[in-house]
């Protein structure tokens, strides 16, 4: 029956060394309902979900499945009990195609081997349900990030789970893709599927939730039904009164033009102009936000300026000097740094420690000839951790031990350690909570006051009106409008081509 508790955590704790990730948490998942879990990065949300899905085991406490104690030794154990999870960070094999990613480890077998035709048929059905025109044989590495997120969702849906955990499922999705996902969620709950939903998009989560639970510093601080909560309730229980993304920094003179883009064009597959004859200039000390919907050309613009994309035409000038034709490393040496959209794939090395990741782009500062200075490296690591306020036990900690928000700070800290004059940040708040967002934007404002030219992109209109002095709106590869910080959300959205519903 709808509302029946199907999976529970009772007094669950998880300890990693000196870190208490969870502290005696009690959590219920109910049939046919969406239970939304809110909390800052590092609050323990992902840890709790990993315990419930068999990824890790609790240090103490117990898991009850249909009111019976249950121990999961692996995700296979949990999956056999009807529990599936969509992880916050994508867990796909990029060198394999979509079909094989969906059925890896649970191939459909016949007497003569794998039934690839049936797997492809089921893959097409899932793509149709998710309203994505993706061929089953398409290599995953050729898909954009949002499409890869859809594949991750499709894989979870393909196991016909009765308990589905969604950890940041919409972090890379467009507004249209989110609508499709919400339709699927409503269909699933109508069939009795229990869903746990984690998202840092608070308004979005309110739209889909039936019940909300808040974690803070590893402990449950609040729980209530949808009818009893609003945005203010969530924020208050998550971070107190710290919900402030800031305002454009004032009280200083901006410098000369630090970055100039002249007639930039980026050609994509089939000759499509992803960025079309775009020109833009940014001064030292200025913060510029690039806003646009999925496919507007924001990422292509950022990556082309940073030297990551081939096939682009136009000229890039840094402090009046052309860097067109220079490699990524050479542009970094000249003072141009990029924080990429996909921190896991492009921003971090998962086998390295926090400290090694922080100093990777500035390794020349502690190497003289063939001699490395461990003392200087440790100094740089401590300085970077302090500058970007990374919550970690130290530079020796594994990068995977950090929350998503703190991993993002490491990527930003790594690029700031190169002492850039211009920094580009592609969706810097993707997958991080409101507290971490505020810290990131405060950091950008502080660096702008010191003379750094900052350009960040976002698909969240609210973030445009935080610290940006100017908002540049893109639509289908063009600049469709440029506004100052006094503009309304409605005008920004209209300029992007987004339809407004009254």
R_g over Cα of the chain: 23
Rounded Cα gap, residues 195 and 390, in angstroms: 31
Please list, in sequence order, all residues whose beta carbon lies within 8 angstroms of the beta carbon of residue 214, skipping any fewer than 6 positions away: 37, 38, 39, 220, 221, 222, 223, 234, 237, 238
3-state secondary structure 149-164: HHHHHHHHHCCCCCEE
Cα distances from 359 to residues 135, 320, 332, 458, in angstroms, run 40, 28, 14, 26
Please list, in sequence order, all residues whose beta carbon lies within 8 angstroms of the beta carbon of residue 168, skipping any fewer than 6 positions away: 88, 198, 199, 200, 404, 431
Angle at 116 between CA 112 and CA 104, to 5 degrees: 105
pLDDT of residue 499: 45
pLDDT of residue 368: 66
Rounded Cα gap, residues 114 and 118, in angstroms: 9
pLDDT of residue 97: 95
pLDDT of residue 382: 84
Q: Is the domain covering 255-335+420-501 a CATH 3.40.50.1370 domain?
A: no
User: Which CATH code for domain 4-239?
Assistant: 3.40.50.300
The pairing of beta strand 19-30 with beta strand 5-16: antiparallel
**DSSP-derived secondary structure for 461-501:** HHHHTSS-SEEEEEETTEEEEEEETT--HHHHHHHHTPPP-
Contact 148, 154 (CB under 8 A): no
Cα distances from 180 to residues 144, 337, 417, in angstroms, run 18, 36, 41
3-state secondary structure 77-101: HHHHCCEEEECCCCCCCCCCEHHHH
Q: For residue 214, what are the β-bridge partners? A: 38, 222
pLDDT of residue 370: 67
pLDDT of residue 244: 63
Three-class SS of residue 170? Answer: coil
Rounded Cα gap, residues 441 and 246, in angstroms: 7
pLDDT of residue 271: 75
Please list, in sequence order, all residues whose beta carbon lies within 8 angstroms of the beta carbon of residue 39, skipping any fewer than 6 positions away: 45, 214, 215, 216, 238, 433
Rounded Cα gap, residues 102 and 151, in angstroms: 7
H-only helix segments in 33-174: 45-52, 75-80, 98-103, 116-129, 145-157
Three-class SS of residue 244? Answer: coil
pTM above 0.85, yes or no: no
Start and end residues for every CATH 3.40.50.300 domain found in the chain: 4-239, 255-335+420-501
Rounded Cα gap, residues 317 and 447, in angstroms: 21
pLDDT means per 10 residues, the chain with 502 residues, are 85 85 93 91 84 92 94 89 82 91 90 93 91 91 82 84 87 76 88 89 87 90 92 78 74 95 87 88 96 83 89 90 92 92 79 84 69 76 80 83 81 87 89 76 91 90 87 92 89 72 34
């Amino acid at each position: 029956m709808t509302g029946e508790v199907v999976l529970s955590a009772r007094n669950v704790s998880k300890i990693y060394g000196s870190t208490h990730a969870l502290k005696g948490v009690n959590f219920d998942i109910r049939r046919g309902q969406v239970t939304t879990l809110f909390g800052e990065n590092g609050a323990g949300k992902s840890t709790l979900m990993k315990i419930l899905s068999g990824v890790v085991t609790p240090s103490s406490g117990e898991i009850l499945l249909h009111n019976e104690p249950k121990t999961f030794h692996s995700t296979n154990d949990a999956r056999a009990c009807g529990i599936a999870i969509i992880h916050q960070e994508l867990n796909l094999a990029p060198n394999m195609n979509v079909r094989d990613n969906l059925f890896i480890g649970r191939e459909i077998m016949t007497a003569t081997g794998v039934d690839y035709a049936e797997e492809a048929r089921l893959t097409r059905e899932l793509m149709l349900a998710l309203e994505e025109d993706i061929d089953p044989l398409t290599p995953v590495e050729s898909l954009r990030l949002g499409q890869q997120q859809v594949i991750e969702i499709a894989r979870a849906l393909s196991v016909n789970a009765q308990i589905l955990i969604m950890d940041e499922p919409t972090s890379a999705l467009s507004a249209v893709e989110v609508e499709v996902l919400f339709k699927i969620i409503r269909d699933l709950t109508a069939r009795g599927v229990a869903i746990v939903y984690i998202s840092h998009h608070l308004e979005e989560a309110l739209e889909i939730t039936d019940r909300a639970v808040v974690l803070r510093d590893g402990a449950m601080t609040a729980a209530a039904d949808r009818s009893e909560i609003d945005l203010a309730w969530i924020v208050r229980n998550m971070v107190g009164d710290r919900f402030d993304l800031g305002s454009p920094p004032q009280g200083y003179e901006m410098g000369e033009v630090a970055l100039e883009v002249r007639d930039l064009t980026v050609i994509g597959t089939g000759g499509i102009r992803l960025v079309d004859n775009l020109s833009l200039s940014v001064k030292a000390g200025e913060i510029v936000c690039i806003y646009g919907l999925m496919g507007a050309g924001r990422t292509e613009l950022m990556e082309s300026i940073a030297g990551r994309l081939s096939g682009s035409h136009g000229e890039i000038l840094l402090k009046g000097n052309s860097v067109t034709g220079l490699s990524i490393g050479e542009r970094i040496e000249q003072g141009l740094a990029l924080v990429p959209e996909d921190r896991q794939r492009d921003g971090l090395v998962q086998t390295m420690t926090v400290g090694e990741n922080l100093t990777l782009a500035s390794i020349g500062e502690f190497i003289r000839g063939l001699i490395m200075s461990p003392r200087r490296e440790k100094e740089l690591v401590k300085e970077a951790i302090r500058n970007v306020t990374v919550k970690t036990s130290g530079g020796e900690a594994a990068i995977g031990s950090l929350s998503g928000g703190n991993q993002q700070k490491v990527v930003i800290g790594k690029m700031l350690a190169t002492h850039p004059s211009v920094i580009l940040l592609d969706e810097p708040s993707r997958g991080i909570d409101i507290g971490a967002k505020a810290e990131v934007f405060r950091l950008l404002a502080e660096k702008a006051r010191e003379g750094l030219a900052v350009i960040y992109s976002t698909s969240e209109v609210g973030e445009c009106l935080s610290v940006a002095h100017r908002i540049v709106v893109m639509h289908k590869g063009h600049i469709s409008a440029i506004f100052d910080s006094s503009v309304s959300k409605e005008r920004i959205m209209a300029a992007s081509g987004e339809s407004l519903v009254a």
